[in-house]
Structure 1
Amino acid sequence: MYTRLNHAQPYAIGLFRIVVGLLFACHGAASLFGLFGKDTVSAGSWPGGFAAVIQLVGGGLVLLGLGTRVAALVSSGSMAYAYFNVHQPEGLFPMQNNGEPAAMFCWAFLLIVFTGPGALSLDRLFSSRDSGGEGERTGQERRTAVPA
């Protein structure tokens, strides 16, 4: 049973990345364009405007799986900044300071940094084209693979 779950792991990671990226991009779009009844912020204002741009662009890149690890690292860092500089001064715990979304996005993006984009990503598509169809296999896997 666990081998079937292991086989599906890249797809589960890919779906996780897609959902997290979409939700993050929606936050940025709502702040920049006033969607979902949210007030707009200027893209050049500090820190809200810069955060909204990072949310929109970073979320979009993570959603597509393009430059995933770098986009996820920047997005994670922006949410850590948001939590410690905006939310945490209002109270010690996320339930007190309304910082749950910032904390969850921070840790979700940090997980994506370390797991990679998973399946269904442009990163994986481009890396398989560049390496002659070998995908993301490591050097060790290439050395031990039985030639066809």
Structure 2
Amino acid sequence: MSGRLNSAQPYALGLFRIVVGLLFACHGAASLFGVLGGAGGEGLTVETGTWPGWYAAVIELVGGTLVLLGLGTRAAAFISSGAMAYAYFKVHQPGALFPKQNGGEGAAMFCWAFLLLVFTGSGAFGLDRVIGRRRTADRREPDREPVAV
């Protein structure tokens, strides 16, 4: 049984990456553009250039989109994880010790989910793998010179 589960691991990881990236990108889009309920669920947006809200929203949108696509997954996940760690410790944790008490459950979950992706990579369905396969195929194929007849 574990053999079958192990063979499905890249696909489960790919689906995990897609869902986490989509949720994170939606959060950024809501904050930047007021879609999907906007910032605070009221259709509001964060003011351009404000620290840290606007920068966090840009990281959420761009990082989430890159993770969703599986493009530069490890780097995007690393930056996104750091942004969520900052959000948790700077915004949520001063209010109370535990995430349930301070409203930081989302930040904590995103932080750890992205940290996992830093170490695992994109899994299946990612553009990282497609690009990696092309590069490997290009390296394997020797340069062919035209044969003179």
CA contact (8 A) 2:26 2:36 kept: no
Q: Which of structures 1 and 2 has the bigger CA Rg?
A: 2
Q: Say yes or no: does 1:28 pair with 2:33.
A: no
- Match of 1:21, as an amino acid? G
Unpaired stretches in structure 1, ≥5 consecutive residues = 135-148
Residue 36 of structure 2 aligns to a residue whose secondary structure is helix
TM-score normalised by length of structure 2: 0.87
Alignment of 1:1-148 (within 5 A): 1-38=1-38, 39-132=44-137
How many residue pairs match? The answer is: 134
CA RMSD in angstroms comes to 1.3
Distance 1:25 1:100 in 2: 17
Give the CA deviation at 1:133.
8.1
Residue 116 of structure 2 aligns to a residue whose secondary structure is helix
- Match of 1:125, as an amino acid? V
Give the CA deviation at 1:42.
2.4
Partner residue of 2:145?
none
Unpaired stretches in structure 2, ≥5 consecutive residues = 39-43, 140-149
Identity value in percent:
72
Distance 1:90 1:14 in 2: 35
Distance 1:117 1:22 in 2: 14
